[in-house]
Amino acid sequence: MLGMDLAEMESACLGGGLPPAAEEQIRLAGKFYHQYDLAHDYLARAQQLAPGHLAVLIGFYRFYFYQNRLSEAREVAQQCLHHAARALGLATDWRDIQPGDADFSQWDSVLPRFYLFTLKGYGYLSLRLGDMETGESIIAKLRELDPLDRLGGSTLSNVLARIGHDDYADD
């Protein structure tokens, strides 16, 4: 994946360039999602068939997320951020990225949008895992890169603001 140009990387986000055998392994992982070891084995085979392909990484991310294996999902999100950053010519550390480094406002561009979605997921997972400092920093960066709030970073900001407050006030 690392030698791909921007168009190839954007296509990969949508499953382009994925060998049919790897695609079948991902499909089987979804079919047998409820059998953790079997589904994980299918994803591992997909990874062997298409090492580093974003569609496989997305499959792992979703699998771990819905299995409530949030630490593993966050690790995969980091890998996705790294791949997307390299393809976009960005710094690999999200903290170093500035709004003008890529056209994050261009909603038709798959890879910048993928980067922002992944950043949001990484922030959410950081919060869920109790890494509040990282989560807050990521949400602030997301809001900076997406000032029109197309991805709903404000929702995560609102959740943060509510931490420690009861939803039900005594009357």
Is 1:50 a contact under the CB 8 Å cutoff? Answer: no
Q: Which domains does the chain carry?
A: 6-162 (1.25.40.10)
Each residue's pLDDT tens digit, 50-84: 998 889 999 999 999 999 999 999 999 999 999 88
What totals of helices (H) and strands (E) does the chain contain, helices first? 8, 0
Each residue's pLDDT tens digit, 112-159: 889 999 999 999 999 999 999 999 999 999 999 999 999 889 988 887
pLDDT at residue 167, rounded to an integer: 56
pLDDT at residue 105, rounded to an integer: 85
pTM, two decimal places: 0.83
Burial tier of 117 (Cβ tally within 10 Å: 0-12, 13-18, 19+): middle
Each residue's pLDDT tens digit, 97-109: 999 999 888 777 7
Question: Does residue 13 surpass a pLDDT of 70?
Answer: no
